[in-house]
Amino acid sequence: MAIILLIRHGENDFTGKRLVGRQPGIGLNEKGRQQAVALAEWLLDAPIKAIYSSPLERAVQTAQPLAHLKNLDVKINPALIEVDYGECQGKTFKQLHRTKLWKAIHANPAGAVFPGGEALAGVQERVVRELQALAATFEPVDVIACFSHADVIRLAVAYFLRMPLGEFQRLSISTGSITVLYLNSDKARVTHINLVGRLEWPNQPSQSSR
């Protein structure tokens, strides 16, 4: 199993304003690019073995500085993609807050299905299954970075904390933040949530000292 870094993409021009969902062509803005560079610097000493990303531009762009620093490829992983918000996609949050649908979804997230899109329970199932599968291919001390989206990360963390799905919105996942999962064969631990800052990693032992 492995240590998984769940990293939310950096900021874009629509963050907090519009539910862009899976719309193509949404890249990082200047602040988002700065966040991506900062993430790479924070993780300079992390013994990262692999980097995975949602297919969406804003996630891939956030992963690229770290991949360059670590001389690793960004592996596109469709299971890390944003929620399919269906008919809600593209609308501003002001528009959504006025709809009965949006209120109903927030009143019962566990049973929520976006018309023309996904059920939140299905999103949670796909991302948890993928994280467990990825972790199983690595050693317990290995670190892998997974770049994804706020709701996807919140749903995964809620599962591993054994929170009811309906409570997942209590978790805050900021742009450019890191959440740390330790997955092993018998249990999972969530050691950090929504970190924005440098992670300190101990020096790795040299070959001669092993």
> pLDDT tens digits for 117-139?
999 999 999 999 999 999 999 99
Per-residue confidence (pLDDT) for residue 190, from 0 to 100: 93
Is 97 part of the annotated catalytic residue set? no
pLDDT at 208: 41
* pLDDT per residue as tens digits for the range 165-207: 999 999 999 999 999 999 876 678 999 999 997 666 666 554 4
In contact, 12 and 29? CB cutoff 8 Å: yes
Q: What is the pLDDT of residues 11-34, one digit of tens each?
A: 999 999 999 999 999 999 999 999
Mean pLDDT of 90-119: 93
pLDDT band at 209 (very low <50, low <70, confident <90, very high): very low
Band of pLDDT at residue 140, cut at 50, 70 and 90:
confident
Q: Any idea where the domains of the chain sit in the sequence?
A: 2-143+156-197
Question: How high is the pLDDT of residue 205?
Answer: 52
| Predicted local distance difference test score (pLDDT) of residue 184 | 78
Neighbour tally for 57: CB within 10 Å: 17
Q: Which member of 97, 106, 149, 192 is catalytic? A: 149
pLDDT at 62: 98
Q: Supply 82's token pair.
A: 């944003």
Give the percent of the chain with pLDDT over 70.
93
* Closest alpha carbon to 31 in 55, 62, 60: 62
Report the chain's mean pLDDT, rounded to a whole number.
92
Please state the rounded mean pLDDT for residues 132-157.
Answer: 95
Q: How many CA atoms lie within 13 A of 179 on its CB side?
A: 29
pLDDT band of 87, cuts 50, 70, 90: very high
| pLDDT score at 203 | 61
pLDDT of the residue at 177: 97
At the second CATH level, the architecture of 2-143+156-197 is 3-Layer(aba) Sandwich (3.40)
User: What is the rounded radius of gyration, in angstroms, for the C-alpha atoms of the chain?
Assistant: 17
Instruction: Give the amino acid at 193.
Output: I
Pairing relation of β-strands 2-8 and 178-183?
Answer: antiparallel
> d(Cα 40, Cα 55) in Å, to the nearest integer?
19
Instruction: Check residue 199 and give its pLDDT.
Output: 63
pLDDT digits 0-9 by tens, 106-120: 899 999 899 999 999
- Pairing relationship of beta strands 74-76 and 178-183 according to DSSP bridges: unpaired
Q: What is the mean pLDDT of residues 76-96?
A: 96
For residue 106, indicate whether it is catalytic: no
